[in-house]
Amino acid sequence: MKALQKLWISGKDVWPLVEGGKGIGVSTGASAGAWAAAGGVGTFSGVNADFYDENGRLIPMIYTGKTRGERHEELIAFGIRGGTAQARIANDISGGAGRIHMNVMWEMGGCERILEGILTQARGLVHGVTCGAGMPYRLAEIAAKYGVYYYPIVSSARAFRALWKRAYHKSKEWLGGVVYEDPWLAGGHNGLSNNENPRSPEAPYPRVVDLRREMNAAGLTDTPVVMAGGVWSVSDFADWIGNPEIGPVAFQFGTRPLLTRESPISDEWKTRLLELNPGDVLLHRFSPTGFYSSAVRNAFLNDLVARSERQVDFRAAAEGEFTAELAFGRRGRSVFLKPEDKPKAEAWIAEGDTEPLKTPDETLVFVTPETSRRILKEQTDCMGCLSACNFSNWSQNEEGTTGRRADPRSFCIQKTLQSIAHTGDIEHELMFAGHNVFRFKSDPFYRNGFVPTVKELVEHLLKGG
């Protein structure tokens, strides 16, 4: 393998090895600072980040607002405080080495205000902003205003072209790089579009060559592509290095840095990573953002899969082929199903999934009374962490709602990601991971449960490991 060369990233020559941003609280000031200290690029998550008191103890985020709108405002204030705290920690740890980036999700609630708030309070501490999940047209303008580099995360040349044509060409000097994230392999949310088949993965090479062509046509020949998603070791990408079809390239890791000493995830989570097998990660579409995402098939995800399987079309009154009346509940309510669906619904009820919940698609899903209560509580407790949420129907528009029915097939991503980040429960919460996660088990680097420091991992990656 050709040796990796340092690359000009966010205003400095650094190793082209990037820790991808991971919310909530999965890539932090501590992990980002360590990546930067090792001479690479660390990315802390600016999504609902934690903050601490003067003794370094976590300050719990307690919401007191009575309405979703009031709690949304609290969330924005917490978000700015948390992101600023993480930027400071990252800088203290890096000691000025490497580069510190911040990641935000464009469709997170109050994104622009949080981004501007952190960049104001942490001026000079953040060198670049990475942003995906949506089409962040305004990212360029905001980054230019604060003099930081910006890195859109895209999954196709087409998405980049749209961003460039509409907005980015106006702030090209601050475009630090373009992250290509493989939507079939990367952990977390991804940019799989309706034209792409989740079951037919496409190889990254030709898609990145397309992206590079698009970038070259825009005069961005020296601007790096950051390859993310499914990158385990640089040696797997040996033919990309020094390859004019690809141009300057850096590599972003999301799943692999989960298992380092500085990674803040629980020991239970770290141990589980070493046990996973091929096929244990599911690309699915249950997220309340509406995006596809990849996570470990644990009880949490299996429950969502099963819930959606216990689903039938219905009508409130007899109509067309909906002729079979199904009575349920103590108050003798009823709905009309297709005759062939009625026995299925009766079987689910007999098994204890007695509560039919309406979805926005004129279907019912059947759940236990306990799950029904939990869904309702989580919807009621919503603090507007997304710009629009399928699960609760919250929207940050003036009406405060998407205008659609809340969707019980989805879940509160705020609650579950906060829980997995702060408790040891990795079975009943959403556990994002990339599809290469099974490689922990067989990679000799991790033999006997070895957990490297970030410095050891970066040195190992530089050797092609």
Question: For binding to ligand SF4 (CB under 6 A), which residues are involved?
Answer: 288, 382-386, 389, 391-392, 394, 412-414
If one asks whether residue 263 binds ligand FMN (CB under 6 A), the answer comes out as no
- Please choose which of ligand SF4, ligand FMN, none residue 433 contacts, taking the beta carbon within 5 to 8 angstroms, the exact cut-off set by kind: ligand FMN
Could you give the CA distance from residue 38 to residue 97 in angstroms, rounded to a whole number?
7
Dihedral of alpha carbons 207, 149, 58, 114, sign: negative
* Binds 185: which of ligand FMN, ligand SF4, none (CB < 5-8 Å by kind): ligand FMN
DSSP per position, 289-319: TS-EEEEE-SHHHHHHHHHHHSEEE-BSS-B
**44 is a contact residue toward ligand FMN (CB under 6 A):** no
Alpha helices (runs of H) in 18-110, residue ranges in sequence order: 29-37, 68-94
**Residue 276 makes contact with ligand FMN by CB under 6 A:** no
Query: Which of 73, 21, 28, 33 has its CA nearest to residue 49?
Result: 28
Expressed in percent and rounded to 5, the helix, strand and coil fractions of the chain are 35, 20, 45
* 188 lies in the binding site for ligand FMN (CB under 6 A): yes
- Residue 73 CB partners (closer than 8 Å, separation 6+): 65
**Residue 193 CB, nearest approach to ligand SF4 (Å):** 22
**Nearer to ligand FMN among residue 50 and residue 341 (C-beta):** 50
Smallest separation (angstroms) from ligand SF4 to the CB of 383: 5
> Where does 312-399 have alpha helices with state H?
342-350, 369-380
CA proximity to 254, closest of 4, 9, 32: 32
Shortest distance in whole angstroms from residue 252 CB to ligand FMN: 5
Selection from 261, 303, 290 nearest residue 431 by Cα? 303
* C-beta of 140 vs 421, nearer to ligand SF4: 421
Question: Cβ of residue 376: shortest distance to ligand SF4, in angstroms?
Answer: 11
CB of 395 to ligand FMN, least distance (A): 20
In sequence order, the β-bridge partners of residue 191 are none
Chosen from ligand FMN, ligand SF4, none, partner binding at 394 (C-beta under 5 to 8 Å by type):
ligand SF4
Minimum gap (Å) between residue 334 Cβ and ligand FMN: 43
Cα separations (Å) of 346 from 113, 314, 321, 335, 409? 49, 14, 18, 13, 20
Kindly tell me which of 280 and 425 has the beta carbon lying closer to ligand SF4: 425
Closest CB to ligand SF4 among residues 257, 288? 288
Residues that bind ligand FMN (CB under 6 A): 20-23, 26, 45, 47, 103, 105, 132, 153, 181, 185-188, 228-231, 252-256, 432-434, 436
